[in-house]
Amino acid sequence: MAKPSFHVALTTAAWLAGPSCLGAQTLPEPSGHERPVANNVARGPADATSVPVSGKGIADIVVTAQRRNENLQRAAVAVTAVGSDELMRAGVSQPQDLTKLVPALKLAGVGGGGTQVTVRGVGNFAGNPYAEPAVAVNLDGVYLARSGGPDGLFYDLDRVEVLKGPQGTLYGRNATAGAINIITKKPTKDLSLDASLEAGNYGLWRGMAALNVPVSPTLQVRASGTLTHRDGYSSDGYNDDKTQAGRLQLRWLPTARLSVLLVGDYEHVGGKGPNGVFSPYLVPSNPFLGSTKDGSNALLKDISLAISGGTNPTLLPPILDNGFVDQRNWGTSATIDLDLGGAKLTVLPAYRHSDNDYLQYNPGFPVSSSERSRATSIEARLTSTGHSPLQWIIGGYFYNEKIGFDLFADQGVAFARTEPLLHTRSYAAFGQLSYAILPHLRATGGLRYTDEHKTQAGRNGGPLPALPAGYNGSPAAYYNAACQPYDPSTATCYFGLTGDLKKQSVTWKAGLEYDAGPRSLIYGNVATGFKAGGFFGSLPPNSYKPETLTAYTLGTKNRFFDNSLQVNAEAFYWTYKNKQVTHLGPILPSGFNLITENAGKATIKGAELEIIWQPTHDDAFSANLQYLHARYKDFRYSQTTVSGPPQTACPTIPIAGASAVTVDCSGRPLPLAPTWTANLSYRHTFELRDTKIDAQIGTQIQSRYFTGEEYLPGELQKFSTASNASLTWHLHGDRYAVGLFIDNIEDSRIKTFSFVQPVVGLPVVILRAPRTFGGRFSVSFR
C-alpha cells in the first residue's frame, strides 16, 4: 500500500492575483444597470479583452460569461477568470493543467487524447466517443463536443473563464455542471510580435509565437502557433506531450457598424499519451516507473495462469509500451457583428472536424479506436446596447454532429468490438433579460427551449455465444444463424445497433442583484441545466435519460480600501438528478462493455471565498478557499460479474437471471469532490531601475477524495498539497523577460482519475505531473 504523500504547492501563477490583475486602478462603478469596462481597452465590436487599466489598485477584467462585455466584479454569476499571464506562468499547455488554478475544477487526461472534466464533483467519464461532456467547453463561443476537442488550444490566449453551475439559458448543449470558455487574443490595429520559449526537465521544449499585422485601416490579421515536445513522466515513455498547433485570424471592418472575424485553427496531438498504474502502487517508492516496468505484467500473468488452470499465461493481455495517440482537430468559424443602433446582431457559424486514432492501456487492458467526428453549428444573438433600464438578449442555436468509431477493447476473458454511427441534431431558442427595478436593484430572468434528436446505427461485436445444450450441428452453421453477421477470422459475433431518441427540454434562470455600494454587489439566482441522454453499445434497452441539475446561488463581490482589497464570496446548493454513470456492465445479447445508466440523485452544497489583497504596489496576496459537501442521496447502478466478483466497496445485491449485481453507493461522497480546497499565493516585485523582478510563491491544498465510484482503497487520494514557485526578470519595459520555475516541489503523487481493471480488481490511476522545473524566455515587440 502506498504511503500518503504530503506536499505544498507553490504555484508559478499567483492564483487570481497575478501581474495581469495587479497594479491598476479600476473605474468608479455607476449605480443602476450599467456595466462599465476599462476605458483604455482598444477593441473592435467583437472584442472582449482583459487588459488592466493603469493606475493604483486591483485591475478590472472584462469577461463575456453572459454573452456581453462585463466587468468581472459586476457580473452576477459564479465565474473565475484566469488571464494570459497566469496561464503562461502556470505552464498551461493542455486542458488538464487548469486543475491547479481553479479550486472547483478537476481535469484529467484519460487516454486516447480524451479529457475528463468535473466541476464540484459533477462531470462524466470520457471513456469512449459515446460520452458527451457535462461541462461545456467553448472556443470563442464554439461548442467542442469531443473530450479531446480542447487539446492543443492553450496558446496565445486572452483568458479562460470557468463558469460554475448550470448554464442552461445562454449556452448551447450539455452545460449541467458549468462551462469553460477559452478566449483567444484577437487581431488588433497595432503591429506586434510576441514569442516565448520554455525548456525544462523531462526533455521539455515549448515554443509559441504570435504575429499581429494591420494590413489596412479595415483589415487586421493575427497568426499564432505553438510547438511542444516533452518526454513522458513515466519511465516507459507514457504521459508525454507532443503537440503542434496553429491559428489564423482575419478581422475585416468594412464600416463602423460591421465587423467580420474569420478564424481557422489546426491541432495535432501525438506521442504515447497518458497511462496509469495499479493502485495501491506495486512500487510505492516510484509509481512513475510505469505499468510496463513496475511488475504489472507479472501480476497479469499470475492471474492469467490461475484463471486458465496454468495453460494460458497471456489470457489477460500484457501492458506494452506501444501505445500511441494520433489526434487531429481543425475548425473554421466566423463571428459577424452588426450594430443596429440600440442592439447588436451576432452570427456565429462554425465547423469542427476531429480524427482520432489511438491505442491505450489505461483500463489495465488494451483499447484501440479510430474516431471520426464532423460537427456544424450556428448561433445567432440579438443583444441590447446602451444604458436602458431593460437589458436583453434573444437568440437561436443549431448543432449537428455525425460521429463514427471502431473501438476494440480486449479484457482477455471477454472483448468488445463497437462500431456505431451516431447522429445528433439539436435546435434551441433562448432569451434573457435584466430590468432595473430601482436604481440599485435589478431582476434577471432567462429561458431556453431545446429540441434534441439522436440516432444510432452500426454494429457491436463480442465473443461467440455458447452452443445450446444438446446441439449436434456445425458450430459455424449455428453462429451464422445466430449472429448478424458472424466473422470467423476474429471469432466475433456481431449484432446491429439501433436507437432513436427525441427529447424537448426547457431550462431557466431567475435572479436578483443589488448594488450595496460603489464597489459592492450582492446577487442571488436559481438556474437549471440538463445533459442530453444517449446510447451505449448493446441491443435494446441501450439508452439512458437526460440528467438535470438545479443550482441555488447567493454571492457577493466587493472592493475595499481604495481598491486594494477584493473579497468575493459565494454559497451554493445544487440538486442533481438522473446522474449518468458510465462503467463496465452487462450488455445484450451477452457479455459486458462500457454502459451508461441513470443512477439516482445527489445534493451538492458549500461555499467559496476569494480574497485578493494588494497592500502596496509591489506586494500581492491571494486566497481562494472552497468548502464542498457533495453526497449521493440515492445512488444505485449495475455491475457485471462475468469477469469476477463485484469490484466495489459498496453493498451489492445479485440480479436474478443475470451475471450482474446492483451496487448501492447511496450516502457516499461524489468522486473528485474534496471537502476542502485552498489556493494561496504571494507575489513581490523588486524594482531595479529600468528592470524589475517578480517573485511568486503559492500553494494548492486539498483534503482527501475518491477518484472513482467503486470507492476502493486504491481510488482514495489522501490529503495533499502541490507547491510551485517562479522568478521572472523583466527587461527594457517588459520587452524581454527571463524566468525560472519549479512545480510540485515535493514531487508528490496526486491521483486524478481511476478505472478498475475488471478481472484484477485493482484501480488503474492517472497521476498529476511529478516535480518539473525549467526556464522561460519571452520577447514582445510593439
DSSP type of residue 300:
H
- Residue 6 within a domain: no
Predicted confidence (pLDDT) at residue 280 exceeds the cutoff of 60: yes
- Residue 462 within a domain: yes
pLDDT of 28 reads: 33
C-alpha to C-alpha distance for 729 and 617, rounded to whole angstroms = 17
Write the DSSP string, 648-681.
-SS-EEEPTTSSEEEEE-TTPBPTT--SEEEEEE
Share of the chain above pLDDT 70, in %: 93
Instruction: List, in order, residues 6 or more apart from 689 with CB less than 8 Å away.
Output: none
- Residue 57 falls in which region: left (phi positive, over 0), alpha (psi -120 to 50) or beta: left
- Residue 269 within a domain: yes
- Residue 11 within a domain: no
pLDDT of 67 reads: 87
- Residue 2 within a domain: no
- Residue 102 within a domain: yes
Strand order in the sheet with 79-83: 79-83, 157-164, 178-184, 135-139, 142-144
Give the tens place of pLDDT for each residue, 165-218: 998 898 867 788 999 999 999 999 999 999 999 999 999 999 999 999 999 999
Give the tens place of pLDDT for each residue, 385-405: 988 999 999 999 999 999 999
- Backbone phi and psi for residue 120, each to the nearest 5 degrees, phi listed first: 55, 40
- Residue 344 within a domain: yes
Q: Structural domain tally of the chain?
A: 1
Domain ranges, residue 251: 19-781
What CATH number has the domain bearing residue 494?
2.40.170.20
pLDDT of 40 reads: 30
DSSP type of residue 669:
B
Q: Regarding beta strands 441-463 and 492-496, do their DSSP bridges make them parallel or antiparallel, or are they unpaired?
A: antiparallel
Give me the count of residues in the chain.
782
C-alpha to C-alpha distance for 450 and 503, rounded to whole angstroms = 8
Share of the chain above pLDDT 90, in %: 75
When pLDDT is cut at 50, 70 and 90, the band that residue 36 belongs to is very low
Q: Whole-prediction pTM value?
A: 0.91
Cα→Cα distances 66→61, 332, 426, Å: 14, 23, 21
pLDDT of 650 reads: 96
- Residue 14 within a domain: no
C-alpha to C-alpha distance for 6 and 772, rounded to whole angstroms = 17
Q: What is the mean pLDDT of residues 508-518?
A: 96
Give the tens place of pLDDT for each residue, 681-737: 999 999 988 899 999 999 999 999 999 999 999 999 999 999 999 999 999 888 999
Write the DSSP string, 338-396.
EE-SSEEEEEEEEEEEEEEEEEE-TTSS-EEEEEEEEEEEEEEEEEE-SS-SEEEEEEE
On average, the pLDDT of the chain sits at 89
| Residue that is written with C-alpha cell 503562461 in the block | 88
- 596 by Cβ neighbours in 10 Å (0-12 / 13-18 / 19+) ranks as buried
Give the tens place of pLDDT for each residue, 288-298: 999 999 999 99
C-alpha to C-alpha distance for 698 and 113, rounded to whole angstroms = 30
Query: How many C-beta neighbours within 10 Å does residue 511 have?
Result: 19
62 touches 41 (CB < 8 A): yes
